[in-house]
Amino acid sequence: LSGWCQRLAQLDRDDPLAAFRDRFVLPEGIVYLDGNSLGALPRATADAVAAVVRAQWGQDLITSWNRHDWIGLPGRVAAALAPLLGAGPHEVAVCDSISVNLFKLLAAALALRPHRHVILAERRNFPTDLYVAQGLQELMGGRVRLRLVDRADELTAALDADTAVLMLTHVDYRTGAVHDMAGLTAAAHAAGALALWDLAHSAGALPLDLRGCAADLAVGCGYKYLNGGPGAPAFLFVAERHLRAARQPIAGWMGHARPFDFVPGYEPARGVARFQAGTPPILSLAALEVGVRLMGEADMRQVRAKSMAMGEAFLALAAERLAGHGFTPACPAEARQRGSQVSLAHPQGYAIMQALIAQGVIGDFRAPDILRFGFAPLYNRYEDVRIAVEALRRVMASGSWADPAFQVRGKVT
């Protein structure tokens, strides 16, 4: 273990991102490896939100929509986010949740491929993506069918002349496995279909190149690696070449060409603004803006290099220190094929994670048996890997996880 201590300490000393850690509020004595669920609080966020609440809302009231350009805030956050996605600022909108944005984009995709009926996806996809597709299927009657495959290597063969859209999550939420975005987008295009990517576990975690991959559509959230806060607004991407023809079904006034004309007929705004629906959540956007701009300061190649190195260290140390305790790696062995997390499977995973949290190391659990550990290179240290694995070893060696208190499941796991 002392060899590991020295190696990880050296990596922390050499870390080009180390200075970012001070820009976050991190509770004393806690190792936080759950930035893949809820990113940590940037230090600047509280003051930024307080300024909007006190000085703008409090003092300038409704005049703030113009005086402080609240109405332009979604567009400003989208422009700050676009480089992190490899997108143009005119291709990104910040609004709603992933679920709602998926509904808009799947409907838009189906309308762009009017003679095709199938949404192709993976059964292991994050459930909300599948639920939204099922909802559309129900709404559109026999016109749409959700087709699911069980293994990623079945996707290409499943693409056919009836596939309207291939809907995939870039980084699998359970295993962290990364899809080849360029390759699968090209395969979708070769079949005449569109490709829609869920970037929930990608934005702010890996360098992205939506344009270079020729992606058609994408969605992602603001509360994970973008550190936008609980329930932060999500984002969507529509490739420039589709902006003219793509229409969305939630034809709200904020997506109208002239919302303040108050005319009875809907006319979509030009460009990506038509994907807005209702009044933007200014307080949440103010928080998200801080997170996105902070992430924008980092070199994403350094972020990726650090998270890969942290993942490698975690798995190697876990193999050494947790041997015989019943864990099996549930993520790809090769760092390049993983997102910014590692996953271990264990039949008692839920209770073990609760016991670990009681030791001050926060990861999370995904049914049926996955313990997830996410790495947020802006605020995690290499040392956190050692602390986490050693805490897990103590939980297993002491059997503390067997305490009935750790079996009780909260509403949120």
Ligand X SMILES: Cc1ncc(COP(=O)(O)O)c(C=O)c1O
**Catalytically active residues, by annotation:** 126, 198, 223-224, 372
| CA-to-CA dists, residue 161 to 114, 192, 325, 335, angstroms | 12, 7, 49, 35
Please report how close the Cβ of residue 332 comes to ligand X at its closest, in angstroms. 17
Sites for ligand X among residues 207-236 (CB under 6 A): 221, 234
* Comparison of 4 and 350: residue with beta carbon closer to ligand X: 350
Sites for ligand X among residues 37-66 (CB under 6 A): none
Sites for ligand X among residues 159-218 (CB under 6 A): 169, 173, 198, 200-201
Candidate ranges 96-104, 323-331, 357-365, 381-389; the one touching ligand X (CB under 6 A) = 96-104
Please report how close the Cβ of residue 363 comes to ligand X at its closest, in angstroms. 14
* Distance of alpha carbon 95 from alpha carbon 138, whole angstroms: 25
* Comparison of 196 and 395: residue with beta carbon closer to ligand X: 196
Return the residue of 98, 193, 286, 294 that touches ligand X, per CB under 6 A: 98
* Comparison of 56 and 281: residue with beta carbon closer to ligand X: 281
* Comparison of 233 and 317: residue with beta carbon closer to ligand X: 233
> Using CA atoms in the order 138, 143, 144, 145, what is the torsion angle rounded to 10 degrees?
100
Sites for ligand X among residues 312-371 (CB under 6 A): none
Please report how close the Cβ of residue 200 comes to ligand X at its closest, in angstroms. 3
3-state SS, one letter per residue, for the chain: CHHHHHHHHHHHHCCCCHHHHHHEECCCCCEECCCCCCCCEEHHHHHHHHHHHHHHHHHHHHHHHHHCCHHHHHHHHHHHHHHHHCCCHHHEEECCCHHHHHHHHHHHHHHHCCCCCEEEEECCCCHHHHHHHHHHHHHCHHHCEEEEECCHHHHHHHCCCCEEEEEEECECCCCCEECCHHHHHHHHHHCCCEEEEECCCCCCCCCCCCCCCCCCEEEECCCCCCCCCCCCCCEEEECHHHCCCCCCCCCCHHHECCHHHCCCCCCECCHHHHHCCCCCCHHHHHHHHHHHHHHHHCCHHHHHHHHHHHHHHHHHHHHHHCCCCCCEECCCCCHHHECCEEEEECCCHHHHHHHHHHCCEECEEECCCEEEEECCCCCCCHHHHHHHHHHHHHHHHHCHHHCHHHHCCCCCC
Please report how close the Cβ of residue 197 comes to ligand X at its closest, in angstroms. 10
* Comparison of 20 and 103: residue with beta carbon closer to ligand X: 103
The site for ligand X, by CB under 6 A, has a size of 13
Please report how close the Cβ of residue 232 comes to ligand X at its closest, in angstroms. 9
**What x/- string results for residues 261 through 290 when contact with ligand X is judged by CB under 6 A?**
------------------------------
The reply to whether 126 sits near ligand X by the rule CB under 6 A is: yes
* Comparison of 343 and 400: residue with beta carbon closer to ligand X: 343
Candidate ranges 123-131, 188-196, 271-279, 402-410; the one touching ligand X (CB under 6 A) = 123-131
Candidate ranges 73-81, 94-102, 174-182, 270-278; the one touching ligand X (CB under 6 A) = 94-102
Return the residue of 9, 60, 97, 249 that touches ligand X, per CB under 6 A: 97
Return the residue of 99, 134, 137, 302 that touches ligand X, per CB under 6 A: 99
Please report how close the Cβ of residue 198 comes to ligand X at its closest, in angstroms. 5
Tokens of 238: 């529509």
Binding site for ligand X (CB under 6 A): 97-99, 126, 128-129, 169, 173, 198, 200-201, 221, 234
